[in-house]
């Protein structure tokens, strides 16, 4: 596009923003609300994933060994399991150590254990997996392999917790697109209505520009640019509002934040996620405008032919 | 310059606005298109600037078949045509000079260049002191001159005027017609639709008469009979 035409388009955009200021403000705020909802789910998802990762680090698989296993065989097994690519750490707990741990767990009630044989509890391994192997199906697969070991009597790990947390993350992921999608649809319709309002308000200009030989691109470009400006402004506002809400939650609810993320501070959207929100705003504005323009032009052509 | 071959225009369900029109108009001709309301004058003009397409037949303007034009081609065609309407079609929120300059700006001319050209045209048309006025502050004759200035700013090869004097009193209508004669003298082809036979008698050179969508007469000044093609 020639520079003079670009200048012409931008002047028309400026005029429209000035003339229909409140209509543009309303659309921008609507877009900001929709993108805020999407961004809030995104933020929740990121922090839940962080939480899952943190909890994953604390989740250990306990493999109980058969009674007949000698200390030497137990050591051999520990070395073999420790060399597996999945395993980050493996700790051997002897029956005597297990007994002491049990006693200290009982505290003042440890007298209840009087008279019981000291090798009652089996020896065990406490296995921590590497972060990349902490997904629920991978953990399940690993425990299955452990169960097949002849020297291992049983295997335990907090399967339900892992499953529940994974489900929550999955639900948030879907909710982000479902609620975000509904908001986007509403925004899309509202942007389209704003463009339609602008088109109706400027239909004389639209007609006259066609009559004097303006190309369709030249006539449509200002409306698309207006949509993109609205989308981008709405996205910037939504990110700013999210940041405000994030700081507020962190400041007002430190206990909740500490509970949710005991090992790290809650995270805000990273630069890629912020870019994603901005890009969605931009696309939503442009697509809403284009959709409405196309419909308006079709109706326009039909009514012009009929008149 | 303009050729129409077996041109028909039918509106649903079965209203024939134009019936089998065949004619040629040469470069530089001043043609009056006359006929009663509903005779098909406006439809004829709308077909020439591709506001509509014929139901059948072929129209060529400046050697180009209009049927083959895509959206960009239509825009390019209209940049070669100046359009003047009875209801002026000026933008109320723009000043007089901006209304005229708009037509140049859409072709890619800079704002400065367009305004300068518009100012010169307005001076030629006697609107020297009304540049910054809004159209609604002007009289009907002045508004029509602004519309004519807009039609002329891209140096059109063809000017189509649909009842340009319909909203003007007799004196201003005469003045407007003299203006069209002047434009024609500069080499543009002019087709002017009117039902004012007084004007035709005073200024007419070639008169094409439509009746119920059919070409009833095609007379050149000095001829005494019908020469419909």
What pLDDT, in 10s, does the model give residues B142-174? Answer: 898 899 899 989 889 999 998 888 777 777 778
Residue located via tokens 């708009």: B102
Q: Of B189, B145, B187, B173, which is closest to residue B33 (Cα–Cα)?
A: B189
Provide the percentage of residues in chain A whose pLDDT is more than 70. 89
A212: nearest CA partner in chain B: B103
Q: How many residues does this entry show for chain A?
A: 307
pLDDT in tens, A201-253: 778 888 898 888 888 888 888 888 988 999 999 999 999 999 999 988 887 76
Q: For the whole model, what pTM was predicted?
A: 0.69
Residue A247, Cβ density class (10 Å: 0-12 exposed, 13-18 middle, ≥19 buried): exposed
Q: Measure the CA angle with vertex B204, ends B199 and B208; round to 5°.
A: 105
Query: Which of A179, A74, A85, A161 shows the shortest CA–CA distance to A130?
Result: A85
Q: Which member of A4, A209, A304 has the closest CB to residue B109? A: A4
Give residue B90's pLDDT. 92
Contact call for B51 and A304, based on CB within 8 A: yes
A3-7, A19-23, B75-79: which is most confident: B75-79
Q: Which of A8, A215, A305 sits opposite B105 (nearest CB)?
A: A8
The pLDDT tens digits of the residues spanning B166-191 come to 777 777 778 778 878 878 888 889 99
CATH numbers and ranges of domains, chain B = 1-80+156-229 (3.40.50.300), 92-154 (no CATH)
Task: Please identify among residues 254-293 of chain A the ones whose CB lies closer than 8 Å to any CB of chain B.
Answer: none
- For residue A273, the number of C-alpha atoms closer than 13 Å in the C-beta half-sphere is 20
Q: List the single residue in A11, A213, A305 with the smallest CB-CB distance to B106.
A: A213
pLDDT in tens, A171-215: 877 887 887 788 778 777 877 777 777 778 778 888 898 888 888
| Selected residues 82-111 of chain B with any CB under 8 Å from a CB in chain A | 83, 89-93, 102-103, 105-111
Helix (H) or strand (E) holding B126: none
Q: Is A244 on the interface with B (CB under 8 A)?
A: no
Q: Where in chain A is the domain with CATH 3.30.70.3040?
A: 60-157
> How far off is chain A from B22, nearest CA to CA, in Å?
22
Chain B residues with beta carbon closer than 8 angstroms to that of A8: 105-106, 111
Task: Please name the residues in contact with B225: beta carbons below 8 A apart, sequence gap of 6 or more.
Answer: B219
Q: Which residue in chain B is spatially nearest to A5 when comparing CA positions?
A: B108
Alpha helices in chain B (DSSP H): 41-48, 71-79, 96-105, 111-124, 140-152, 170-185, 197-203
B interface mutation test: which of A2, A209, A213, A214 has the most B CBs within 10 A?
Answer: A213
**Residue numbers in A near B71 (CB within 8 A):** 215-216
Kindly report each contact of residues B132-137 with a partner whose C-beta sits within 8 Å and lies 24 or more positions away, as own/partner. B132/B95, B132/B96, B132/B97, B133/B95, B133/B96, B134/B92, B134/B93, B134/B94, B134/B95, B134/B96, B135/B88, B135/B90, B135/B91, B135/B92, B135/B94, B135/B96, B135/B99, B136/B92
| Burial classification of residue A300, based on how many CB atoms lie within 10 Å of its CB (0-12 exposed, 13-18 middle, 19 or more buried) | middle
CA distances from B86 to A281, A300, B145 (A): 45, 21, 12
Q: Could you report the predicted ipTM of this complex, rounded to two decimals?
A: 0.85
Cα of A274 vs its chain's centroid, Å: 12
* Residue A113: predicted pLDDT: 74
In chain B, the N- to C-terminal Cα span, in Å, equals 16
A contact residues 202-221, partner B, Cβ 8 Å cutoff? 204-205, 207-216, 218
pLDDT band at A256 (very low <50, low <70, confident <90, very high): low
Instruction: Find residue B61's DSSP bridge partners.
Output: B2, B64
Query: Any alpha helices (H) in A59-92, and if so which ranges?
Result: 71-82
CATH number of A60-157: 3.30.70.3040
Per-residue pLDDT tens over the stretch B18-71: 999 999 999 888 899 998 888 899 999 999 999 889 999 999 998 889 988 888
Cβ within 8 Å, pair A216-B75: yes
| SS3 assignment, position B9 | strand
Whether A210 and B78 lie within 8 Å, measured CB to CB: yes
**Torsion angle of alpha carbons A206, A211, A213, A214, nearest 10°?**
0
B102 contact residues in A (CB cutoff 8 A): 208-209, 212
């Amino acid at each position: 596009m020639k520079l003079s035409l670009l200048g012409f388009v931008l002047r028309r955009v400026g005029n429209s923003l000035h003339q229909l200021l409140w209509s543009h403000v309303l659309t921008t705020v609507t877009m900001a609300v929709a993108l805020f909802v999407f961004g809030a789910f995104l933020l929740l998802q990121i922090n839940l994933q962080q939480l899952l990762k943190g909890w994953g680090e604390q989740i250990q698989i306990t493999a109980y060994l058969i009674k007949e296993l000698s200390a030497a065989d137990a050591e051999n097994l520990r070395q073999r399991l420790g060399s597996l690519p999945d395993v980050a750490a493996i700790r051997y707990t002897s029956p005597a150590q297990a007994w002491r741990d049990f006693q200290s767990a009982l505290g003042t009630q440890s007298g209840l254990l009087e008279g019981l044989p000291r090798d009652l509890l089996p020896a065990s391994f406490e296995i921590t997996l590497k972060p990349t192997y902490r997904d629920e199906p991978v953990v399940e697969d690993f425990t299955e392999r452990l169960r097949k070991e002849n020297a291992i009597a049983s295997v335990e790990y907090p399967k339900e917790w892992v499953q529940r947390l994974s489900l929550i993350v999955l639900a948030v992921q879907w909710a982000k697109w479902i609620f975000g999608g509904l908001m986007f649809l509403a925004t899309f319709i509202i942007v389209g209505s704003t463009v339609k309002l602008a088109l109706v308000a400027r239909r004389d200009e639209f007609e006259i520009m066609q009559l004097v030989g303006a190309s369709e691109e030249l006539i449509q470009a200002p409306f698309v640019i207006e949509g993109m400006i609205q989308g981008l402004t709405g996205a910037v506002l939504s990110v700013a509002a999210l940041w405000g809400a994030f700081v507020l939650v962190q400041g007002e609810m430190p206990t909740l934040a500490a509970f949710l993320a005991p090992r790290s501070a809650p995270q805000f959207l990273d630069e890629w996620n912020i870019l994603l929100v901005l890009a969605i705003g931009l696309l939503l504005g442009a697509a809403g405008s284009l959709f409405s323009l196309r419909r308006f032009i079709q109706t326009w052509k039909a009514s012009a032919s009929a008149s | 310059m303009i050729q129409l071959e077996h041109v028909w225009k039918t509106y649903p369900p079965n209203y024939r606005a134009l019936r089998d029109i065949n004619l040629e108009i040469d470069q530089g001709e001043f043609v009056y298109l006359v006929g009663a309301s509903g005779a098909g004058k406006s439809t004829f003009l709308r077909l020439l600037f591709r506001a509509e397409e014929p139901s059948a037949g072929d129209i060529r303007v400046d050697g180009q078949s209009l049927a083959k034009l895509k959206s960009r081609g239509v825009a390019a065609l209209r940049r070669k045509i100046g359009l003047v309407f009875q209801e002026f079609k000026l933008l109320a929120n723009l000043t007089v000079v901006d209304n005229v300059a708009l037509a140049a700006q859409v072709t890619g001319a800079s704002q400065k260049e367009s305004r300068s050209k518009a100012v010169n045209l307005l001076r030629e048309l006697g609107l020297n002191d009304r540049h910054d006025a809004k159209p609604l502050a002007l009289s009907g004759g002045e508004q029509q001159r602004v519309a004519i200035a807009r039609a002329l700013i891209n140096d059109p090869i063809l000017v189509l005027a649909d009842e340009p004097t319909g909203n003007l009193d007799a004196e201003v209508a005469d003045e407007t017609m003299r203006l069209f004669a002047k434009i024609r003298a500069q080499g543009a082809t002019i087709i002017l639709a009117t039902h004012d036979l007084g004007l035709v008698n005073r200024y007419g050179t070639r008169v094409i008469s439509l009746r119920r969508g059919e070409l009833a007469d095609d007379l050149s000044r000095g001829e005494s009979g019908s020469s419909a093609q």
